[in-house]
Amino acid sequence: MPAERTSPFPASTVLGYPRIGPDRELKRALERYWDGHATAGELRQEGARVRERTWRHLRSLGLDALPSNTFSYYDQVLDTAVALDAVPERYRGPSPLDTYFAMARGAPDVAPLRMTKWFDTNYHYIVPEIGPDTVFRPVPDKAVAEAREARALGLDTRPVLIGPVTFLLLAQAAPGAPKGFHPLDRLGDVLDVYGRLLAALAAEGVSWAQLDEPALVADRTGAELDAVRQAYEHLGTLTARPGLFVASYFGDLGEALPVIARTPVEAVGVDLVRGRTPVRTLGEELAGKTVVAGVVSGRDVWRTGRDRALATLRALRAHVDRVVVSTSCSLLHVPHSLERETGLDPALLRRLAFADEKVAEVVELARLLKAAPRVEPFPAPDVHGGTEAGLPVWETRSPYPVRAAAQAEHLGLPALPVTTIGSFPQTDELRAARAALARGELPVPDYEDRVRAEIERAVRVQERLGLDVLVHGEPERNDMVQYFAEHLDGFAVTRHGWVQSYGSRCTRPPILHGDVHRPAPITVRWARYARSLTDRPVKGMLTGPVTIVAWSFRRDDLPLREVMLQVADAVRAEVLDLEAAGVSVIQVDEPALRELMPLRRAAQDAYLAWAVAAYRRATSGAGDRTQIHTHLCYSDADQIIAAVDALDADVTTVESARSHGRVLREPAVRDFGRGLGPGVYDIHSPRVPAAGEVEELLEAVLRVLPAERVWVNPDCGLKTRTYEQVEAALATMVAATGRLRARLAPQPSSSSSSV
């Protein structure tokens, strides 16, 4: 039996740890390497330093079992693809490191692999490409090297890989794969390679390996559950392998629980923070196994309720072989440490725990569990009570046709109005001024002069190029959520609370810790200033309640919906003040609408209903002639188009150019009854679109949407671009619109349907 030759799983562990470095050392090393200012050797040295520090640090905090192979130069899913040699031919080159970065970031002649959100987190992974002809081969180099590196420091580690089922479910079919092919069809071949990877790890003397299977917490088909069974039956019966620890996280195993329980794997990880499965059920199903109990949340920044966690652990221990105290998921999703957060209110500080503090909690809980008598466990209290109250309704605006008429009269816009999504380039001068302000070297009035100068520049450019609805350019914001968090009560912002978003990119999410109030207007003076510069309409620009909540660490002592409604009230007050200041177009962005969507379908409708309610609460105070816009970044709106429709915004702008107009193929989008602006150029690339391209996209839009509802705009905000790129691209957009308008104008022999 494998269980016999496997040493017992140590008493405490974490599923993963931040890898960007406490001072974002890895971020800087990566960017130096990409910019050609550092060698591959220097980058590798920094990587080794980050890993060594992590292992030594975790051990010094008292953690028993250390993970390895959780370090990454870009992304752990990409690392697993490399471990299987699932590298599309077009990326292969002489240097493995550059092949790796070409997949992640593209190379001069090849676009990168797609990137998308990691379940319902703000982390993004690289989507592997698997075809019927992909040749898999074990490449255990990285996992083995890390284990060996730790061993040289005197530390045993547990290598972590993405498990085979999750890996294949997250992969996409390679271009040219026959219709109906899914990467999961390759399970058999992939399992063979996983087996050989595990053998290589066993040969290295590794006693446990962790296979992450977060895909098991979403709804799975019977065939997918069969794949789980097949995978772990196969891997479990291999003889040359370490102990197998299958880690689930971000929710419940649900129907996958009995499936995984019946395979020969020795340890199963369960998320006891987000999971809803009663402890007794878990205990009964997993009797005879080691249960790695995720009682310390890896997704939020709050301290763990010690008594409740301990009660859960004890109840579980009454049923199963062995209980290991752990985090609910990798700590990748929280900042490193509170140690340097000297600016936070002490009362708030006492409620917080970042990665290091969470590791200390795991260690402490393991100690308490060991000391606690093995008596009849008291049942873990049910913490998931709460009733679904009815949805509040805010129907203060007239039906869309009435509003549309009022707005047409009030705004007097031409056909195919041209606008942008809000932000204009964040120039070097502006960034320098903001940094000087933060260091206390630039007085506030001087900084504000800088902001006004940027607003003026953006407005002048838009006037000169002939846009119809102008924006002020958002120069006062470093970030569309943080800016509002800084101006609302109930939020705190950290100094060093960086969390990896993708690659070297990190964000510093605000902490929503208390009741949210807006003490004073936030954006009104900037909107007013912009208006004073031009006769054209200037669009007020706000971030919506769902997005503010989604991109913050939020309190967990109130239901999410109530937190959202509080934020909605603050946004609503800002909408009303903008309107009173004469702003007649107001955009309330919700790029994160889809993000908090529960992983299980059964919970999705209720979530969307509340998200929609929050948005309407924020926007429905506006009068009929005030035009409400919203912006969502993605185009695969299919799953949420009903919700987008229910937002009841007068105009919705979405990304479209980047995905080659895919949004236009959605029937629900064609039937969308209000203003719609599918982006006509991709802002993610520095490339200035050719006139023909923009015109073609616009023609495609006009083939499926009636011209009177079409808006012309880029895919998203322009803040990451330069003025040079933006001016050229906007000029192209305006010119293309002009040509289309001329063709739309009533002519004796033609109609709009001939476009």
Binding-site residue ranges:
27, 122, 421-423, 474, 505-506, 551, 589, 631, 633, 655, 716
Cβ proximity to ligand MET, 164 vs 473, nearer residue = 473
Closest CA to 171 of 209, 213, 125: 125
Q: How far is the CB of 717 from Zn ion (least distance, A)?
A: 6
Q: Mention every residue, 6+ apart, whose C-beta is less than 8 A from residue 353.
A: 296, 301, 302, 303, 304, 338, 361
Q: How far is the CB of 720 from ligand MET (least distance, A)?
A: 9
Tokens of 301: 């920044």
For the segment 530-549, give every residue that binds ligand MET (CB under 6 A). Answer: 541
Q: How far is the CB of 634 from Zn ion (least distance, A)?
A: 8
Cβ proximity to ligand MET, 120 vs 595, nearer residue = 595
Query: Residue 422's binding partner, choosing from Zn ion, ligand MET, none, with beta-carbon cut-off 5 to 8 A by kind?
Result: ligand MET
Neighbours of 529 (CB within 10 A): 17
Query: Residue 417's binding partner, choosing from ligand MET, Zn ion, none, with beta-carbon cut-off 5 to 8 A by kind?
Result: none
Q: Mention every residue, 6+ apart, whose C-beta is less than 8 A from residue 538.
A: 459, 469, 470, 471, 472, 527, 530, 531, 583, 585
Could you say whether residue 714 binds ligand MET (CB under 6 A)? no
Annotated binding site for 5-methyltetrahydropteroyltri-L-glutamate: 27, 122, 505-506, 551
Q: How many residues bind ligand MET (CB under 6 A)?
A: 12
Task: Give the SS3 label for residue 380.
Answer: coil
Q: Are 521 and 574 in contact (CB under 8 A)?
A: yes
Q: How far is the CB of 424 from ligand MET (least distance, A)?
A: 8
Q: Mention every residue, 6+ apart, whose C-beta is less than 8 A from residue 6.
A: 207, 208, 242, 243, 266
Closest CA to 691 of 663, 718, 728: 728
End-to-end CA distance of the chain: give it in Å, rounded: 71
Q: What is the 3-state secondary structure (H, E, C) of 102-169?
A: HHHHCECCECCCCEEECCCCCCEEECCEECCCCCCCCCCHHHHHHHHHHHHCCCCEEEEEECHHHHHH
Binding ligand MET (rule: CB under 6 A), the pick from 120, 479, 589, 682 is: 589
Q: Are 323 and 356 in contact (CB under 8 A)?
A: no
Cβ proximity to ligand MET, 423 vs 500, nearer residue = 423
Task: Tell me which stretch binds Zn ion (CB under 5 A): 557-565, 574-582, 625-633, 737-745.
Answer: 625-633
Cβ proximity to Zn ion, 292 vs 649, nearer residue = 649
Measured over the CA atoms of residue 250, residue 251, residue 256 and residue 258, the dihedral's sign is: positive
Determine the Cα–Cα distance for residues 702 and 710; give it in Å rounded to an integer: 8
Closest CA to 320 of 351, 357, 279, 362: 279
CA 309 to chain centre: 28
Task: Tell me which stretch binds Zn ion (CB under 5 A): 110-118, 408-416, 473-481, 709-717.
Answer: 709-717
Query: Residue 247's binding partner, choosing from ligand MET, Zn ion, none, with beta-carbon cut-off 5 to 8 A by kind?
Result: none
Cβ proximity to ligand MET, 100 vs 551, nearer residue = 551
Task: Give the SS3 label for residue 243.
Answer: strand
Could you say whether residue 631 binds ligand MET (CB under 6 A)? yes
Task: Tell me which stretch binds ligand MET (CB under 6 A): 238-246, 277-285, 419-427, 613-621.
Answer: 419-427
Q: Are 351 and 338 in contact (CB under 8 A)?
A: no
Map tokens 């340890």 to a residue: 267
Could you say whether residue 679 binds ligand MET (CB under 6 A)? no
For the segment 112-151, give every residue that binds Zn ion (CB under 5 A). Answer: none
Give the x/- contact pattern for Zn ion in 57-96, rule: CB under 5 A.
Answer: ----------------------------------------
Binding Zn ion (rule: CB under 5 A), the pick from 206, 352, 614, 716 is: 716
Q: What is the DSSP letter of 351?
A: T
Closest CA to 14 of 369, 250, 317, 331: 331
Neighbours of 755 (CB within 10 A): 14
Cβ proximity to Zn ion, 380 vs 633, nearer residue = 633
Q: How far is the CB of 471 from ligand MET (least distance, A)?
A: 8
Q: How far is the CB of 655 from ligand MET (least distance, A)?
A: 9
Q: Which residues are catalytic?
A: 684
CA 212 to chain centre: 18
Task: Please state the φ and ψ torsions of residue 714, each to the nearest 5 degrees.
Answer: -75, 175
Compute the half-sphere exposure of residue 554: CA atoms within 13 Å on the CB side of its CA: 22
Could you say whether residue 467 binds ligand MET (CB under 6 A)? no
Annotated binding site for L-methionine: 421-423, 474, 589
- Residue of minimal Cβ distance to ligand MET: 717
Q: How far is the CB of 592 from ligand MET (least distance, A)?
A: 8
Binding ligand MET (rule: CB under 6 A), the pick from 80, 719, 726, 736 is: 719
Could you say whether residue 227 binds Zn ion (CB under 5 A)? no
Annotated binding site for Zn(2+): 631, 633, 655, 716
Could you say whether residue 423 binds ligand MET (CB under 6 A)? yes
Q: How far is the CB of 643 from ligand MET (least distance, A)?
A: 17
Could you say whether residue 421 binds ligand MET (CB under 6 A)? yes
Could you say whether residue 591 binds ligand MET (CB under 6 A)? yes
For the segment 471-500, give every residue that binds ligand MET (CB under 6 A). Answer: 480
Q: Is 477 left (phi over 0), alpha (psi -120 to 50) or beta?
A: beta
Task: Give the SS3 label for residue 269.
Answer: strand
Q: What is the 3-state secondary structure (H, E, C) of 280-325?
A: HHHHHHCCCCEEEEEEECCCCCECCCHHHHHHHHHHHHCCCCEEEE
Annotated binding site for L-homocysteine: 421-423, 589
Map tokens 């955009």 to a residue: 587
Question: Which residues does residue 627 pair with via DSSP β-bridges, in sequence order?
Answer: 585
Give the x/- contact pattern for Zn ion in 576-605, rule: CB under 5 A.
Answer: ---------------x--------------
Cβ proximity to ligand MET, 298 vs 717, nearer residue = 717
Binding ligand MET (rule: CB under 6 A), the pick from 301, 329, 633, 704 is: 633
Could you say whether residue 454 binds ligand MET (CB under 6 A)? no
Task: Tell me which stretch binds ligand MET (CB under 6 A): 225-233, 416-424, 482-490, 567-575.
Answer: 416-424
Task: Tell me which stretch binds ligand MET (CB under 6 A): 165-173, 421-429, 530-538, 657-665.
Answer: 421-429
Burial status of residue 734 (CB atoms within 10 A of its CB: 0-12, 13-18, 19 or more): middle
Tokens of 749: 């022999």
Q: How far is the CB of 175 from Zn ion (least distance, A)?
A: 26
Q: How far is the CB of 578 from ligand MET (least distance, A)?
A: 14
Tokens of 246: 């299958």
Give the x/- contact pattern for ligand MET in 74-93, rule: CB under 6 A.
Answer: --------------------
Binding ligand MET (rule: CB under 6 A), the pick from 163, 544, 661, 717 is: 717
Q: How far is the CB of 719 from ligand MET (least distance, A)?
A: 5
Determine the Cα–Cα distance for residues 136 and 194; give it in Å rounded to an integer: 10
Q: What is the binding site for ligand MET (CB under 6 A)?
A: 421-423, 480, 541, 589, 591, 631, 633, 716-717, 719
Q: What is the binding site for Zn ion (CB under 5 A)?
A: 591, 633, 716
